[in-house]
Structure 1
Amino acid sequence: MPADSSATLKTNGRRCCGMKWKYRTARRRRRRWAAAVILAGMAGALSFCFRPDSGRREPPIRETIAAPAQKDSPDQSAPIPVPLLSQEQLGMPTGCELVSAYMLLEYYGCSMSFEEWIANCVPMQEFWYEDGQLCNLSPWEAFIELPWQDSGYGCYAPVICSAMQQALPNCTVEDVTGQPLAQLCTDYIEEGTPVLVWATMDMVESAEGGVWQTPDGPFEWVANEHCLVLVGADSNHYFFNDPSTGRRVKWEKDLVEERYAELGMQAVVVSAG
């Protein structure tokens, strides 16, 4: 090896180390510069997003509308103390008319149990087929299908009136269908007499239901039908015992009157003997 080879290696080594150091230094500078650019860009973007004049707007707040039915409201004007019962409690998923009627039977001191009353006083009729057509009576004549089944329909005021009269021989049960709710309040509620009324579930709009043949011709069921006990009123609301929940509810008068009319303004009252 030449004499100056060691010096050459050392020189080359230093040069190599120096070039590597310069490369690392340059790389660090480029990284710092890139980081500075990124940070500056982020700062600019953030300042743009939050500038008052950038046009950015907060998303609209969804307006919450209170449900029309308010349960157990403290401003109720002394509703008539009719016992509260629920369809679930009595095993009647489609028997709102029967459960509501039995609230009144208990209120007037009926000695029959619910089961006895159903078995002995309430006519029921299941569907049958005749000449390929679905047939039954009308709900003015009997409870359509079975109230302890989900497939049950229901019944109307004359059926309930007759069934209640059998259970309350010392009282007068009257079908007062056709009277406006305001008149029912004047004649009965203000005198402490509760009223059985037909409207709709949760006061939703009624709809077309099932159709079948009766001895008097075709009949169309009103879907969403419901029966409740009217127990009070104030200037804006009617108060009910609702058998679907077993609780007291209130609904705006205009809405109730509309649904009441859709079910034919059906109502039943009891006069103590």
Structure 2
Amino acid sequence: MKWFKIAKGFSISLLIASLMFTSSVFTAILYAKIKYRPADSHAVSGYDPASGTDQAADKPEQNQTEGEETKVNPAAMLEAPLIQQYPELPRGCEITTLTMLLQFSGVEKGKMELVEELPWDHTPIQWGDQGQITYWGHPNEGFVGDITLGSPGFGVYHKPIATLLSTYQSETVDLTGKAFSEIEASISNGIPVMVWTTVNYKVPVNWMEWDSPQGKVKTTTKEHTVLVVGYDEEHVYVNDPLKKQKQLKINKQQFVSSWEAMGKQAVTYREANRKGS
């Protein structure tokens, strides 16, 4: 009888432990689904790519008809310049990446020349009681803050970059909000694409928000841009202004997720008459 009670007690304890483990696993899975739900991954900067309003994450793809996919080669690779943003422009990944794209197109401009033409948003930064940013400029209006390390600075998004690109390329193409297959199609057709990602090519964990004259901005300090120069079934290849290796290989699924998290921003051009050099 004593052994029966011990065995019965052990069985009950084992059942309780099993239920607790199952509950913890379910909780972890549920947390992951909430934390990385698609709506969060696209609602990044508080703007619609076309109008600057707060609706970008909810709009459907406009680049292709329903059931139709962009046809691209299974793999492609381009030889493009690699330019470093350091030491002159520690926060200048965007203008440096644009320089790579323009030099690929035949425009003989350096990053220090182009930075003088970059649109800026000079809205002063304001801080909250907890040391957080509460009010600043909007990166879809121009570069926010200091592009060096002299004072606080952030970066710039696709709209001002597309505007600057259009002064040199009459067929500027803003692919923001399109499917990643559109980026692959451009590379397949011989033209690299400037895209917004993160410094480690991963979906950010820590986000920050501030208000601006154009509305709320939600972003991350890991914001970064690179020039996509190639792809295959499993990888994306980039020229990164923070790296010294050309055609750096990155896992495609990981890279695409980081690009989506930063609002699916991408800018390039089509072959046409160049405006100047």
Q: TM-score, normalised by structure 1?
A: 0.64
Q: 1:261 — aligned with what?
A: 260
For residues 209 and 235 of structure 1, the distance between their equivalents in structure 2, rounded to whole angstroms, comes to: 30
Segments of 5+ residues of structure 1 without an aligned counterpart are 1-76
- Give the AA of the match of 2:107: C
C-alpha distance in 1 between matches for 2:164 and 2:177:
20
| 1:220 lines up with 2:218 in the alignment | yes
Per-residue CA shift, 1:70-105, capped at 9, x if unaligned? xxxxxxx6621110111115x111111111111011
Partner of 2:71: none
Alignment partner, residue 182 of structure 1:
181
1:100 aligns with 2:100: no
Partner of 2:107: 110
Aligned to 2:166: 165
Amino acid at match of 2:135: C
Separation of aligned partners in 1, 2:89 and 2:244 = 12
Match of 1:155 in 2: 156
Shift of 1:124: 4.4
Name which one, 1 or 2, has greater alpha-carbon Rg: 1
Alignment match, 2:86: 88
Which one has the bigger helix percentage?
1
Rounded to whole Å, the distance in 1 between the matches of 2:79 and 2:113 is: 24
SS of the residue 2:107 aligns to? coil
Q: RMSD value over aligned CA atoms?
A: 2.4
Tell me the equivalent position of 1:127. Answer: 124
2:202 counterpart residue number? 204
- Contact between 2:226 and 2:238, CA under 8 Å: does it hold in 1? yes
Check 1:203–1:193 CA distance in 2 against 1; reply closer, same or farther (3 A cut).
same
Q: What CA distance in whole angstroms lies between the structure 2 residues aligned with 1:179 and 1:113?
A: 29
What CA distance in whole angstroms lies between the structure 2 residues aligned with 1:128 and 1:188? 38
Q: Alpha-carbon deviations, 1:49-86, whole Å to 9, x = none? A: xxxxxxxxxxxxxxxxxxxxxxxxxxxx6621110111
Distance 1:92 1:209, change over 3 A: farther
Letter in 1 for 2:81: P
Instruction: Give SS of 1:207's match.
Output: coil
**Partner AA of 2:178 in structure 1:** Q
Per the TM alignment, residue 181 of structure 1 is displaced from its structure 2 partner at its CA by: 1.7
Aligned residues: 193
Q: What pairs up with 1:245-256 in 2 under 5 angstroms?
A: 245-248=243-246, 249-256=248-255
Q: Distance in 2 between matches of 1:106 and 1:138?
A: 28
Deviations 1:122-180 (A, max 9, x none): 324353449998432211111111222273211111111111222x1x53212111122
Normalising by structure 2, we get a TM-score of 0.63
Percent identity, please.
25
